[in-house]
Amino acid sequence: MRIITYNVNGIRSAMKKGFADWLRSDPADIICLQEIKANAEDVPVADINATGYEVFSYSAQKKGYSGVAILTKLKPKNVICGNGLQQSDAEGRVIRADFGDITLINAYFPSGTSGEDRQAYKYQWLDEFFTYLDEVRKSRPKMIICGDYNICHKAIDIHDPVRNKNYTGFLPEERAWMDKLFGNGYVDTFRHFNQEPHQYSWWSAFGGARANNKGWRIDYINVTEPLKAKLKHAEIMPHIVHSDHCPVFLELKK
């Protein structure tokens, strides 16, 4: 099973930048998208279907905002939109698909960048999402949790940890939540294989950040411990440029 997580910063915008051509190259069996920024009727389903992927999407109620999707060549036995929490579901932040005994959860975490109220909601959302994951794990212990987390876990995951220590996405409380996640039976699959610095998945649009690789690693594919033995390969793909993010890849053994 080959999985990609990718914040496309608008699915229609990505399509104009060659996204469909990239899909035709068969980059993965399952591709989880965040920030699709499209209502259900505006998702280019037919164009994506033509590349070999089935589309399951969950849009925000607000037009042009948030939203997640799963593109897959493998047939899921179950797809659930949302996690049952009113505000999170109104913002189209979570979609789940079950493939055999493996549950895949694709999530777009709140960013907190637009003010104190949103930062407070981010903390609320993190607590609620952690509880949701633990509830799912009781009956579905083999889990993959991927998406744009909008959090750098450690100093190695951000180009300038000193100057960014007071910025949302690298605040102590956010990083502590990541500590809690990885301390409770979830595995950071990229760091399982790669301990090198300067590995990022998002870059600011300003100041030549991407060209100079001044980025943040905020996109993750994490698994629960029962899947750790199946980890085969993980990488970040900064050469793919449909978005200000890039894809993150994981391959599991059969």
Catalytic positions, written as ranges: 148
Q: What's the rounded Cα separation, in Å, for the pair 249 and 220? A: 9
Strands 248-252 and 231-236: antiparallel
Distance of CA 93 to the CA centre of its chain: 10
How many other CB atoms are there within 10 angstroms of residue 18's CB atom? 13
